[in-house]
Amino acid sequence: MNRYQRYFPFLKPYRNIYFGGIFAGLVYSICTGFGLPTMMQAVFPAVFNPDSELSSLQLIGYASLLPAVFLLRGISGYLNQMVINFVGLQFMRQMREALFEHLQRLQLGFFGKYRSGELHARLTQDTQLVQTVITESANDLVRQPAILIGAFSWLIYQAFDNQMVLFILLACLTVPLCVLPVRFIGRKVLAKAKRQQDQFGDLSGTVSENLSASREVRAYNLEERAISGFRDRMLSLVQAQFRVLVYHRVLSPLIEFISAIGVGLALYFAARGEVPLETFLAMIGALYFSYDPIKKLGLVHNNFQKANGALDRIEEILDTRIEITDQDDAIGDFNARGQVSFKNVSFSYEDQAVLSEINAEIQAATRVAIVGPSGAGKTTFINLISRFYEADSGEVLIDGCPLSRIKLSALRDNIALVPQEPILFQDSLLENIRLGRKDASDEEVFAAAKVAQIHDFIKSCPEGYQTLAGERGALLSGGQKQRIALARAFLRGAPILLLDEATSALDSESEKGVQQALAEISKGKTVFTIAHRFSTIRNADRVLLFDKGKIIADGTFDELLKNSLFKSLYDNQNLSG
Ligand code: ADP
């Protein structure tokens, strides 16, 4: 239970209603554990005794006692369930919010380690499991012991009354006997449940990967591979689920068997002790109400073990430290001119060194093309400007101010990023452009779309700017998506523009449009372009040539032609590997 302590604040706003629910649960338990056996003992003899002459009214009174107890039990049980479920759902909501919020703030490096489907599974499936446990089990943790104590005290009282010492001993002994399998099985369930959740995450990861690559799957004839991969994972998941069930489900019959032995022995002692039938029946009832809670508590134990598995996976995310954060005194109001400096910057992913001792001084409003073979560190260089990653040593500065001194949100307000394959969100084209600057008016969005040369196309769509982009922009061509992304960047009005230039995915018509749009948007900005095409380096004020994590040449296009690597890249027309 200790590990749940950190989540108690989630329950705090619902404290009063929660305790109300628990109280209703107690009423339910008392009705069940103490009320029903008492009823049996009081009502049966009165009704069935041939000597007692009951009037119809009395008979009705006795007969309606049972429904009355059940009514009270029913109402309190219902209230209890509703409240606990309500609180459980609130708990899950808050846990998901905390997890989602943490995911938004985590550094990019984190996402390289997990598949998105895996994270999705943790966000949904694992939190759901924890909620189920909180709802069902936390309630049982209060209710079942209460039923047990109620029924057990009744049994002891009766046993004393009928001087059945052996019966008391019996009742006292079989209880611990039930606890042993509960503990053993609980341990087994923990191990199996963790595996089951891992398998589920793996399956979700595979499915989401597959669905987001539907084109590649067909293009490379990967259907059979995908199907057999899915089949294998599904099989492993079902096996893992079945292993949990094997242990989980054995608990009830085991405890029922132990309790049946108890009842058999009770039968024997009762016959010996000449216990009247009605007392005996009530005793069997009370005995049942003693074993049942033990059974349920055993299941609670199992459920907590299952939830522990899920919680491990949730906390793996929650406990990942957010590495890139704002300093307390970071500058929040930052309007850059656009001068960018790298001073002795080195960087590695995990332990793979990617950039070493990078020095570069870029004046505001310079157009910089970044060139080099694949894996040379170009993207990483660009990513450091946005502070997606933190340099291991050295400093990146904007207008002479180290990035760590600037609030992250302020820094990113000064940068517009256009990736090679821009993502459009499931929203209208209007809103997709407005993402660049959320307070932009519709007119400003139209103006940006005109500059990016996408306005006419949008207008020609049946629903104009209200056209939905489709999932990840599936309904638009590569060139159209690029231009939407450029409109977004233009609208942002940021002094620094980071471009991963679109490659040959664009047809020549689109390319011309994108180039013109780009030239317009770049005016007066500091532009870093990972260049895949000649036109870019020809237009650039400065070219940085990267190789193996270093800048090996830095100058104008003509100056760089003297460099043999540049010359060979140029001759091969393969500027960025
Ligand atoms: P380029 O853009 O020049 O192709 P990158 O900056 O993308 O090069 O990558 C440089 C090196 O860093 C490559 O060897 C690549 O495998 C590695 N790398 C890139 N991103 C990551 C990442 N998120 N985690 C680990 N290694 C990475």
Identify the H or E element spanning 531. Answer: none
Q: Is the pLDDT of residue 505 over 60?
A: no
Look at 216-225, 296-305, 397-406, 508-517 and tell me which has the smallest mean pLDDT: 508-517
**What pLDDT band is residue 509 in, cutting at 50, 70 and 90?**
low
Q: Is the pLDDT of residue 576 over 70?
A: no
Whole-number Å distance, alpha carbon 181 to ligand 1 midpoint, is: 53
Specify the pLDDT at position 469: 81
Listed residue (495, 487, 493) closest to 517, CA to CA:
487
Q: Is the pLDDT of residue 211 over 70?
A: yes
Return the ligand 1 atom nearest residue 109 CA: 23
Whole-number Å distance, alpha carbon 500 to ligand 1 midpoint, is: 14
Query: CA angle 532-538-544, nearest 5°?
Result: 65
Residue 417 main-chain phi, psi, to 5 deg: -115, 130
Q: With pLDDT > 70 as the criterion, what percentage of the chain qualifies? A: 93
Among protein residues, the one whose CA lies closest to atom 27 of ligand 1: 349
CA torsion through residues 129, 133, 134, 135, sign: positive
Hey, what are 326's tokens?
């704002």
Among protein residues, the one whose CA lies closest to atom 21 of ligand 1: 349
Among protein residues, the one whose CA lies closest to atom 13 of ligand 1: 375
- Mean per-residue pLDDT for 114-139? 86
Identify the H or E element spanning 219. Answer: helix 214-219
What's at 190, amino acid-wise?
Answer: L
Listed residue (308, 310, 324) closest to 110, CA to CA:
324
Q: For residue range 433-451, list pLDDT tens digits in order.
A: 999 988 999 999 999 998 8
Whole-number Å distance, alpha carbon 561 to ligand 1 midpoint, is: 26
Return the ligand 1 atom nearest residue 374 CA: 4
Whole-number Å distance, alpha carbon 111 to ligand 1 midpoint, is: 14
**CA 557 – CA 569 distance, rounded (Å):** 13
**What pLDDT band is residue 525 in, cutting at 50, 70 and 90?**
very high
Which DSSP state fits 468? B
Query: CA angle 392-393-396, nearest 5°?
Result: 100
Q: Is the pLDDT of residue 56 over 90?
A: no
**What pLDDT band is residue 166 in, cutting at 50, 70 and 90?**
low
What's the whole-model pTM score?
0.77
- Neighbouring CB atoms inside 10 A of 117's CB total 21
Q: For residue range 318-352, list pLDDT tens digits in order.
A: 999 988 888 888 888 999 899 999 999 999 988 88
Specify the pLDDT at position 368: 95
464 Rama class: left (phi>0) / alpha (psi -120 to 50) / beta: left
Chain mean position to CA 230: 22
Whole-number Å distance, alpha carbon 295 to ligand 1 midpoint, is: 55
Return the ligand 1 atom nearest residue 577 CA: 4
Whole-number Å distance, alpha carbon 376 to ligand 1 midpoint, is: 8
Whole-number Å distance, alpha carbon 92 to ligand 1 midpoint, is: 37
String of DSSP letters for 368-428? EEEE-STTSSHHHHHHHHTTSS--SEEEEEETTEEGGGB-HHHHHHTEEEE-SSPPPPSSB
Q: Is the pLDDT of residue 472 over 60?
A: no
Site to probe by mutation for ligand 1, drawn from 354, 374, 544 as the one with most ligand atoms within 8 Å of Cβ, is: 354
List, in order, residues 6 or more apart from 374 with CB less than 8 Å away: 576, 577
Q: Is the pLDDT of residue 21 over 80?
A: yes
Pocket of ligand 1 (CB under 6 A): 112, 349, 352, 354, 372, 374-380
